[in-house]
Amino acid sequence: MTPKRTVVVTVAVAVGVVASLLSYFFLNNAQQRAFHNAKLVPAYVVTKPVPTALTGSSAVSGGYIQKKDVPAEFVPAAAVTNLSAIQNEQAVAPFGVGQVLVSSMFATQASLAGGFASQIPKGDVAISVSVDQVHGVAGLPVPGDKVDILVTVGTAENFLLQNVPVLAIGQTSAATAAASGSQSATTTAATSSSSSGLFTFAVRPSDAARIALAEQQSMGLYLALVPAANPVVSVPGVDQGSILNGPQASG
């Protein structure tokens, strides 16, 4: 290769590298602007339309599901973090591109034949409570979220349970919400909560008895929406004598 040709090839390669870098930074900045500089976290996302009954192994090997960076606020607590969890399961409904993969979107064939009961974790039971907009976090929770349950005992407010999974709101379950798409699922669940105020939880049998007793005795159930992976902490009860003793809220 002549020196002149070598220079031409070298320049061409350099130009190509610079163009690739510029393209990367442009696309990255464009994505950041599109997300309004939101905090991005890795999550498994549907990248090709998933048909009903597609096996998890086929979804993974066929590129239907891939890991992408998405705004943290769009990743629900039930998001799948390990694709091995769906390898031997199948899609419960058709899912569109862009949906974050959650555990209720795939299930075993045996569980699909079991109806809503199949969505209850082994060892738990489902129990429903009725709360209004104020007690139910303004209808903002959706199926798949987790909440803390507070009750009034005498003149004190106490945490009854923490990180309680919301199986359904009204007639909208986590599975039907996932099948409807992320945006429509939020709207459907919020509308259902506003009209019925019914929250269905998955809890241990002993905790279901505690919830039932608290509601029967009109202990003023309050729900507090919590973020994903929220730690369980010991929270002392609050009464009129200690209402001002806690630390001030910070932004």
Residue 65, both tokens? 């599901």
How distant, in Å, are the alpha carbons of 102, 179, 192, 209, 241 from that of 175? 9, 6, 15, 26, 44
This prediction has a pTM of 0.52
Mark whether 104 and 179 lie in a shared domain.
Answer: no
Mark whether 155 and 207 lie in a shared domain.
Answer: yes
Contact 70, 40 (CB under 8 A): yes
Query: Which of 51, 79, 113 is the last residue before a domain boundary?
Result: 113
Q: Within a domain: residue 29?
A: no
pLDDT confidence of residue 30: 46
HEC assignment per residue over 72-123: HHHCCCCECCCHHHHCCCEECCCECCCCECEHHHEECHHHHCCHHHHHCCCC
| The CA-based dihedral angle spanning residues 187, 188, 191, 197, taken in that order and rounded to the nearest 10 degrees | -130
Q: Within a domain: residue 35?
A: no
Q: Within a domain: residue 236?
A: no
pLDDT confidence of residue 24: 37
Q: Which residues of the chain, if any, have pLDDT below 50?
A: 3-28, 30, 34, 182-183, 185, 189, 192-195, 251
**C-beta contacts of 104-108 below 8 A and 24+ residues apart:** 104/78, 104/143, 104/144, 104/173, 104/174, 104/175, 104/178, 105/50, 105/175, 105/178, 105/179, 106/56, 106/59, 107/175
Mark whether 222 and 148 lie in a shared domain.
Answer: yes
Mark whether 151 and 175 lie in a shared domain.
Answer: yes
Mark whether 91 and 185 lie in a shared domain.
Answer: no
Residue 29, both tokens? 């900045």
Q: In the chain, how many H helices and how many E strands?
A: 6, 10
pLDDT confidence of residue 37: 67
pLDDT confidence of residue 178: 60
Residue 68, both tokens? 């992408």
Kindly report, residue by residue over 42-61, the tens digit of the pLDDT.
999 999 999 988 999 999 99
Mark whether 106 and 143 lie in a shared domain.
Answer: no
Q: Within a domain: residue 147?
A: yes
Q: Within a domain: residue 25?
A: no
Mark whether 87 and 150 lie in a shared domain.
Answer: no
Query: Which of 85, 113, 141 is the last residue before a domain boundary?
Result: 113
Mark whether 140 and 96 lie in a shared domain.
Answer: no
pLDDT confidence of residue 196: 57
Domain span at residue 107? Answer: 40-113
Mark whether 218 and 138 lie in a shared domain.
Answer: yes
Contact 43, 79 (CB under 8 A): yes
pLDDT confidence of residue 56: 93
Q: Within a domain: residue 135?
A: yes
Query: Which of 64, 85, 113 is the last residue before a domain boundary?
Result: 113
Rounded-to-integer distance, Cα 31 and Cα 192, Å: 33
Rounded-to-integer distance, Cα 8 and Cα 98, Å: 43
Q: Within a domain: residue 16?
A: no
Rounded-to-integer distance, Cα 169 and Cα 200, Å: 6
Q: What CATH number does the domain containing 61 carry?
A: 3.90.1210.10
Rounded-to-integer distance, Cα 174 and Cα 99, Å: 14
In angstroms, the first-to-last Cα distance of the chain is 65
Q: Within a domain: residue 244?
A: no
Closest CA to 104 of 114, 91, 122: 91
Q: How many domains does the chain have?
A: 2
Rounded-to-integer distance, Cα 29 and Cα 37, Å: 9
